[in-house]
Structure 1
Amino acid sequence: MKVILLLLALLGSVGAAVAQSPLRVLVRDERTKTTLPGVSVVIPALQIGTATDVNGRAELPNVPAGPQQVTFSSIGYGPRTVAFTLPQASAEPALVELEPSSLELEGVVVEATRTGSRIEDVPVRIEVLGPEELDEKSSMKPANVAMLLTEASGIQPQFTSANSGSVAFRIQGLDGRYTQILRDGFPLYGGFSQGLSLVQIPPLDLRQVGIIKGASSALYGGDAIAGLVNLVTKTPTATPELNVLLNQTQKGGRDLTAFYSGRTGQLGLTLLATQNTQRAFDVDGDGFTDLPQVQLTNVNPRLYYYLNDSTTVYLGATAGVETRTGGDIEAIVNQPVGLRRYIERNRSERYSTQFRVDARRRGG
């Protein structure tokens, strides 16, 4: 009797071993024939699954014998369901290929060749602020061009002094000393404009402003690594132009600006004169100036001589005197004697002359 029971137990264990067997698969790309790691291998009816390893292989142990529906899925490939009959006839893994579902882009070929173009003739993207925008901003801030450039995209103001309110500008995140400032195509103040705050440049005589973002040092020197700002002034016309602007603010600011332009025969004249003052003002009451005390005077006459239709000669002069005082508001306003207080005072006097000849060559 014991022998019979032992035989029955052995037969039952052999039947259980036959009833379950592992499922081994190898998954690869249908087009490139490369193995695919991370592919999900799932038998939905049994709610079991696994994923392929780095070699594209996967194994599900103890799968009941008989037909099984196995689903394969991976990102970028279409899902596929394959029928298997277990146990497998071979010890080698069954091969399964998945078809890519995403479109493949064709290779992009970039070719370059040398040309005879000069760098001066290569197109450059220039942003232009026209007369309408200049007139609007001049009415809002007639003393300087700071507000005008602050609202241009890609340009950020850089306050070089919190007390005196001096402002430089950053283009593409680079420091202000890498931004070249031009006036009618020539470096402002002979290329020493980095020591000149943009709050000292009045906008009333400007016809347009051109802005180039990006390195232009090959054409305009090392100061134009970040970009440049070209201030284009108005020229005399047969119809005289006279603009007078008086501005008064509730915080003690006063701007008086006048611009004249006219031409008679072969002679033309433009004249810009500004007088800007600002009383020291503490907005937040912390004892230090938020608006510095300013006295600024600018005079810029230009005389044009039109030799003929293609040749113009002009002679100009620029004079600018400014005093800016910031710091302890009590020391600036009341000027107490014997008290040591912090004051920052900047005085600048700038004088320059311009001589230019424009000659257009006629095409033959």
Structure 2
Amino acid sequence: MLSEEELIQIRRHLHQNPEIGMQEFHTHDFLLKQIARLPQDHLSIKTIPEVPTAILVRIAGSNPKRTLGWRTDIDALPIKEATGLPFASQNDGVMHACGHDFHMTVALGILSYFAEHQPLDNLLIFFQPAEENEFGGKRFFDAGGFQGDYKPDEFYALHVNPQLPAGQIGSRQGTLFAGSNELRISFIGKSGHAAYPQKANDSIVAAANFVTSVQTVVSRNIDPIEGGVVTIGKFNAGQAMNIIAGQTDIEGTIRSFTQQGMEVMTKHIRMIAQGVADAFGQELKINFRQGGYMPVVNDEASSSFFINYMEHADDVDFKIVEPAMIAEDFGFLSNQFKGTMCWLGVNDPKHTLHSDHLTPDESAIEKGITAITGFLTARMEK
């Protein structure tokens, strides 16, 4: 098995060499080298050209009743690191600011354990690219990656949480994370001189009306118990203070704890946008992209077993948590396969996920591996 010192060195190497989604070629090669160091007696590896940086490792079980899957994401974010760590990112403008270096290290630790202790059930470890930007799990699924011996009956995953103590596991039954939908809208009017507004058609005025009106989508169309968020994060228009803007481009995100809520919000945003465009006599371009970012909903049976194990395991610190509005493309996989996702605490309460100062506590790695290998072993015995 990989020692704690080896795991920390692996994590630091991954942290120093972050790569954007679908470009994780160094990460892919490094992971393959680490996998090659492990006992190969029961291991097989699947890759596919459609998603070239993905790796699916299978460990054949000794007496399999099912195939369990464990997923880790491998990509980083376009963020310039500001931690000052001696092993800070060497790729300028790219950082593992969401803890995927931790996720990969824990996954390698799990793989290392079961490579030396053959599991009862078949076990898949999925090193998935492009969680942050191009929903790599859905891409791999759509390309036929999970078929035959490589099809899981259940899928599990974790995500680091800087607000929880190092090594603490947090989860819940039902929805853990929200679904997310990208929104891009353009209002197209007619540019002109600021002194002659009657000869132009101001796209900024139309777009500003849309931004104001869209705030009612959640408050007047979504059950307050369900929750939802519409955030407009980008608003681009204009070239000079005395020129009426002929086009305004808006980008935002929609988040909901249910897929039904997502569909209701999308419908009403489209209606409002079209109504504003019609009222101001403008052309409308509107595009939504949800991809694989569906709500992460923990299956009742698997999450019940998961929670029961974690609550009673002597070496696990476990907490029932509230749902969070963050999005995770594991939501797509959890809609295809039964399973459960959880938090792994990394004790950096001063910083949030995606912070350029995020500094997780490395003691969480060993604790996370212990908790997950124990759970998977217990699951296989049922």
- For normalisation by structure 2, the TM-score amounts to 0.22
- Structure with the largest fraction of strand: 1
- Structure with the largest fraction of helix: 2
Larger Rg: 1
- For normalisation by structure 1, the TM-score amounts to 0.23
